[in-house]
Amino acid sequence: MSQTPTFPTLRPRRLRLQANIRRLVQETTLSPADLIYPLFIRPGRDISRPISSMPGQFQWSVDRLAVEVKELAALGLPAVILFGIPEIKDATGSDNSNPAGIVPQAIEAVKDAAPDLVVISDMCFCEYTDHGHCGLINTAGHDHYDPRLPEGYLLNDATLAMLGRASTVHAEAGADIIAPSGMIDGMVAGIRSALDGAGLSQVSIMSYAAKYASAFYGPFREAAESPPSFGDRSQYQMDPPNRREALKEVAIDVAEGADILMVKPAMPYLDILSDVRQAYDLPLAAYQVSGEYAMIQAAAANGWLDLRRTALESLMAIKRAGADMIVTYFAKDAAAWLE
């Protein structure tokens, strides 16, 4: 029985000697085509408002989108994901289902400026509700109140109907992909049924299939103006200690017809990303969330890390763990760096 060669016959460093040798044997590649750029859209005109906790990121008014998305397309980025900040918030997040709402306006603006850019609509209600939760809340005195459930409980099935209506509105405005992000039971089936019933069977669903109730979302609350007015989202998003449960959640969304799966956050949950990649062949996304982005930016601003190298290494780690595509606030910079 032959033995595997070892030192000095085997010298792995031979394949690290030169940059082009390292490129030849590189196992994981990253390109602009792998990246999706988030955009935050707010009411008003001529607005590009900096987000203080996320350097380099902005809230945009619809009229300022054209220049931005043309630049994204020129960099080779294939897609954007839109988050809307409505002018008026209410208990039911009604602007999310308004054909003249902020995101339908933004979808049309993006498609006019960059027709080939894929538009993904983040489908949730936290930005649209006055309470900051991802659907209809069980509230005494309201028509939807159920005394059998706790006050403040997110009403699952009533929220499904809302998701279906809003998804149809966004798809009719031109969204290519609907991305439900609230971890509401049955959300993929409810949206798929609504889209198909409206003759929109060509519209894909990218499900936030394993989304954790993470502390890494902090800066997003400022960006989307969506902090919960009470409690947190642990009653519907996944508990961070749970690994096996993620595969159960993903299996449900696969069975309900998800076209693309997503794990969120990304780097703190690379084990989950790898598990889902090994279990399923569907396209797999990961979301490098606001806290991941902000930490790298803050460390680089203090001179503790090299921004470019660290950002690209973090994205490569996510790709290596199994992601086919990455939602990241670094997408625009990374596309330029990779060129």
Question: Where in the sequence numbering do the catalytic residues fall?
Answer: 211, 264
Are 51 and 34 within 8 A, CB to CB? Answer: no
Closest CA to 286 of 260, 311, 310: 260
The pair of three-digit structure tokens given for residue 214, joined into one six-digit string: 């993470």
Are 154 and 236 within 8 A, CB to CB? Answer: yes
- Concatenate the DSSP letters of all residues of 271-308 into one string: HHHHHHHHH--S-EEEEE-HHHHHHHHHHHHTTSS-HH
The pair of three-digit structure tokens given for residue 89, joined into one six-digit string: 């918030």
Exposed, middle or buried by CB within 10 Å (0-12, 13-18, 19+), for 113? middle
Characterize 311-335 residue by residue with b for buried, 16 or more Cβ atoms within 10 angstroms of its Cβ, and e for exposed: bbebbebbbebbbebbbbbbbbbbb
